[in-house]
A and B are shown apart, each in its own frame.
Chain A
Amino acid sequence: MNSRQANSERQRHERAAAGQTAVPFELLHVTAKRGARVVLEDLSAVLLDGATGIVGPSGVGKSTLLRLLNRLADPTSGVIRYCGRDLREHEVLSLRRDVGLVAQLPALLEGTVAENVIYGARLAQRDADVVATLRLAGLDPAFASRPADALSVGEQQRVMLARALALRPSVLLLDEPTSALDEATTAAIELTLRDLRERLGLSFVLVTHDRAQADRLADRMLALERGALRDADPAAARLR
């Protein structure tokens, strides 16, 4: 176990001691449809604390899975549990603040970077430290006053990340966080994500078509193929 893993293991223990469960998500026989098309069928899996990478080709239902975990959509049948309770028993707005979702493509609000960062926190009637949050997302605080729509895609993606972090979530759902970015920006974002795990002990569920990226960022890897989740890393069999 390297120092990074040891650090995150320690933080996980601390969170467990603080009463937080070590098993954020359990999926039990989950089926999801988009219109008449079955996207996920009878999916059962456990997504543990820490960083889970979910890999699979485009259109296989990875984004749908994240939308289910954030309750932007509900399964047609089956149950998803978060911290031991059915997702539908959680108050939906607080659940979404605790399980932050960073979409595949930037979708920021009109206004400055700072306004975007404090938007979610303000909804929860909380203050957000814009400077500290931008730094966490790897952005210079000088970006705060710039209009969000004038930034590059990579910068906007970091603002999306900062905006989710301002909610102080326990879990971050990352949907192809670097799919629209070049190699250098991808490496920089990955560095930021690793840093976040070390400093905040955040859990990640990362979906990506890039197996190498999942390898670099995740503790364990699941492959989503034809509507089923399989263990993609035999050494770390966590699948039920």
Chain B
Amino acid sequence: MTGVIEIGLGQVAATLVLVAVAAAVAAWERTQLEGDIGIAVARSFVQLTAIGYVIKAIFASDSTLWVVLLLAVMVVFGALTARGRARRVPHAFWALLIALAVAATATLTVVLLLGVFPAEARYLVPVGGMVIGNAMTAAAVALNRLGDEVHDAAARIEATLALGATATQAIAPIVRRSLRSGMIPLIDSTKTIGLIFFPGTMVGMLLAGAAPVDAVRLQLILLYVLLGAVAIAALVAVALSRRRFFTSDHQLSEIVTLQE
């Protein structure tokens, strides 16, 4: 990796021209999205600038403790955000918090033990952020599907329980479909990568002046790490949540049956 590019605020401001185009299209077609576009631009500027300074401070301190703290904050915010997608799953926050923490810890530990990256803030913070972000999306999608399907298929689950199936057996097809929903988007984008779109890390490295082969290799490492993280997060979130729909006597809980 060689070469560093400097970006000034003027360059960022110049790209607002394209935001103005988006807002003009929105207004012209009366999509009523102009407000949302404004909020999105303002929030992205404030949030990214703030995190930029936080990362700068952490890089400067080069303290592992601060890195861990930052990643822990990301896990908590990730779980809070994903909970919004999993409203029909009881106590989803805790399942998501544990799922994201396990996914981040497991994948970063493996990467460090294999010597892929050194244990330095400049590697751990961006990779950890990507891992937690992707794990959050996968766990949220999986729990969203799990909650919806359990409520929609309550009669079928009860009919299966009535045959003497355990709660785990009765919910198994739904668990399978939920895990697939959580993992398929990343698997699909991994399949088409380089053909249909160039991923962000690779683009960033190329823009920063890295050799294309290095950019590709780093991108591959990240993709494989993310696949692992996404699988772990979806699995842990679904495994912890599925029991919440049942009593210890293999009965569907009232949270579900009352909504029939």
Inter-chain contact A72/B162, CB cutoff 8 Å: yes
Q: 9 nearest interchain CB pairs? A: A120-B163, A107-B159, A97-B164, A101-B162, A107-B156, A96-B164, A107-B155, A93-B164, A103-B159
Per-position 1/0 for B151-192, Cβ under 8 A of A: 000011011111111100100010000000000000000000
Inter-chain contact B158/A103, CB cutoff 8 Å: yes
Inter-chain contact B249/A92, CB cutoff 8 Å: yes
9 contacts between A and B (CB under 8 A): A35-B254, A67-B158, A97-B163, A103-B159, A105-B155, A109-B160, A120-B164, A123-B164, A164-B163
Task: Please count how many residues in chain A sit with their CB below 8 Å of the partner chain's CB atoms.
Answer: 29
Docked CA distance A34–B257 (Å): 9
Residue A124 interfacial (CB < 8 Å) = yes
A123-B165 contact given A93-B250, A103-B159, A105-B155, CB 8 Å threshold: yes
Measured CB to CB, the residues of B under 8 A from A are: 155-156, 158-166, 169, 173, 249-252, 254, 257-258
Residue A119 interfacial (CB < 8 Å) = yes
Residue A89 interfacial (CB < 8 Å) = no
Residue A194 interfacial (CB < 8 Å) = no
Residue among B159, B173, B249 having the largest count of chain A Cβ atoms under 10 Å = B159
Q: Point out the residues of chain B lying under 8 angstroms from A35, CB to CB.
A: 254, 258
Q: Point out the residues of chain B lying under 8 angstroms from A164, CB to CB.
A: 162-163
Q: Point out the residues of chain A lying under 8 angstroms from B249, CB to CB.
A: 71, 74, 92
Inter-chain contact B254/A96, CB cutoff 8 Å: no
Tell me which of B155, B161, B163 contacts A119 (CB under 8 A): B163
Inter-chain contact B155/A93, CB cutoff 8 Å: no
B249 CB → nearest A CB, Å: 5
Q: Point out the residues of chain B lying under 8 angstroms from A183, CB to CB.
A: none
Q: Which residue of B lies closest to A103 (CB)?
A: B159
A124-B173 contact given A72-B158, A107-B156, CB 8 Å threshold: no
A64 CB → nearest B CB, Å: 10
A34-B159 contact given A93-B250, A120-B165, CB 8 Å threshold: no
A123-B169 contact given A96-B163, A167-B163, CB 8 Å threshold: yes
Inter-chain contact B162/A100, CB cutoff 8 Å: yes
Q: Which residue of B lies closest to A88 (CB)?
A: B249
Docked CA distance A120–B170 (Å): 11
A160 CB → nearest B CB, Å: 7
